[in-house]
């Protein structure tokens, strides 16, 4: 089962060294994303598995939490542990957390 975390928990974990992987499409990412996030669109994730950051704490985010949940489940099947940021960048921005 994939761990579900809030945007605030994600920020705290990022500050402690976690990596945020944004799985939205590139144009969505360019329009605004959690500060410091890395972008690999869900549509490219399988072909770019080698590009997934090698992090002790990997947090997956999308717009609202659906695509990131799919990505986290798939990564788990590949042996890569990851947590899902519930509510996605919509919730992240709504909570006033840092956005680029």
Q: pLDDT category, 40, cuts 50, 70, 90?
A: very high
CATH 3.40.250.10 fits 3-94, yes or no: yes
- What pTM did the predictor assign? 0.97
Q: Where are the domains of the chain?
A: 3-94
Identify whether 70 is a catalytic site residue: no
DSSP string, the chain: --EEE-HHHHHHHHHTT-EEEE-S-HHHHHT--BTT-EE--GGGTTTTGGGS---SSEEEE-SSSHHHHHHHHHHHHTT---EEETTHHHHHHHTT--B-
Q: Of 62, 75, 80, 82, which one is the catalytic site residue?
A: 62
Q: Taking residues 44-61, report their average pLDDT.
A: 97
- Looking at residue 1, what is its pLDDT? 85
Q: Taking residues 56-85, report their average pLDDT.
A: 97
């Amino acid at each position: 089962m994939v761990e579900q975390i809030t945007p605030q928990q994600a920020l705290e974990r990022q500050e402690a060294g976690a990596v945020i992987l944004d799985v939205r499409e590139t144009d969505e990412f360019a329009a605004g994303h959690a500060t410091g996030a890395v972008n690999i669109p869900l549509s490219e994730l399988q072909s770019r598995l080698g590009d997934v950051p090698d992090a002790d704490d990997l947090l997956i985010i999308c717009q609202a939490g659906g695509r990131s949940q799919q990505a986290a489940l798939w990564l788990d099947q590949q042996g890569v542990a990851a947590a899902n940021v519930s509510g996605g960048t919509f919730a992240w921005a709504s909570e006033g957390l840092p956005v680029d």
